């Protein structure tokens, strides 16, 4: 998966930058759409002008926020808001792999809260369930996501939660809370080990039991 050439993103970026006011009310809707075709039913495609060319994208997304199980935000290039690295659940991972396998060279459109924010071009199958939105995500949207989902940086590679791939809202909330609790516990253990208090800094009492003679 690679970024779409910036030359053809001019129209899209203009829409994105002039739509910042639309992010005033924090919402959390993300969908990713593959290209459609001229012969598709007009009601089933979304027309979008990019770099002076007309593109069609399927109205029904390949996956949406419902398939996101964890995320990590980052600053987008050129002051274009934030980007996101998404970890998808099993259903989302399968959908992403299928789309990137059979649609080599085609575009995938990301829509956040009804606003087209990014386009990437498929160049190889993506089998790990990770999808990157390179630009256009507001701080408010990230704040809303943090209420529902854990960050990838909270989840260590050795953590069992990385393989859970929660699907329901309750499972995602529980996974986020467990990841936060694990991170807090690990920080406390490090503090105790360094002499900051707790069990590791206490002088242990000698046992009162009488040994066998």
Assess contact for 107 and 55: CB atoms under 8 A: yes
Among 108, 114, 84, 110, CA closest to 19: 114
Q: Does one domain contain both 130 and 35?
A: yes
Kindly report the average pLDDT of the chain as a whole number.
Answer: 77
Q: pLDDT digits over 11-58, tens only?
A: 444 444 434 444 444 468 999 999 999 999 999 999 999 888 999 999
Q: How open is the CA angle 89-46-42, to the nearest 5 degrees?
A: 120
Tell me if 205 is assigned to some domain. Answer: no
CB environment 82-94: b (16+ within 10 A), e (fewer)? bbbbbbbbeebbe
CATH for 137:
3.30.1360.200
Residues 140 and 167 occupy one common structural domain: no
Report yes or no on 78 lying in a domain. Answer: yes
Model pTM? 0.68
Same domain, 34 and 72: yes
Domain count, the chain: 2
Q: Which domain holds residue 161?
A: 151-198
Complete DSSP assignment for 102-152: H-TT-EEEEEETTEEEEEEE--S---S-EEEEEEEE-HHHHHHHHHH--BG
Residue pLDDT, tens place only, 106-144: 999 999 999 999 999 999 999 999 999 999 999 999 999
Residue 211 lies in a domain: no
Statement to judge: residues 23 and 71 lie in one domain? yes
């Amino acid at each position: 998966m690679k970024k779409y050439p910036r030359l053809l993103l001019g129209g899209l970026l203009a829409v994105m930058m002039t739509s910042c006011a639309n992010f005033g009310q924090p919402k959390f809707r993300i969908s990713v759409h593959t290209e459609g075709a001229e012969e598709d039913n007009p009601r089933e495609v979304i027309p979008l002008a990019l770099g002076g060319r007309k593109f069609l994208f399927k109205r029904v997304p390949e996956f949406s926020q419902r398939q996101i199980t964890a995320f990590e935000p980052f600053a987008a290039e050129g002051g274009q808001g934030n980007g996101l690295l998404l970890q998808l659940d099993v259903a989302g991972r399968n959908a992403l792999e299928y789309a990137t396998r059979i649609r080599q060279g085609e575009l995938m459109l990301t829509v956040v809260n009804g606003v087209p924010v990014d386009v990437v071009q498929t160049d190889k199958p993506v089998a790990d369930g990770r999808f990157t939105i390179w630009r256009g995500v507001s701080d408010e949207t990230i704040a809303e996501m943090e209420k529902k989902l854990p960050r990838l940086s909270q989840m260590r590679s050795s953590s069992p939660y990385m393989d859970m791939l929660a699907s329901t809202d309750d499972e995602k909330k529980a996974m986020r809370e467990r990841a936060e609790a694990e991170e807090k516990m690990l920080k406390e253990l490090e503090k105790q080990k360094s002499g900051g208090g707790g069990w590791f800094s206490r002088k242990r009492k000698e046992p009162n039991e009488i040994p066998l003679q």
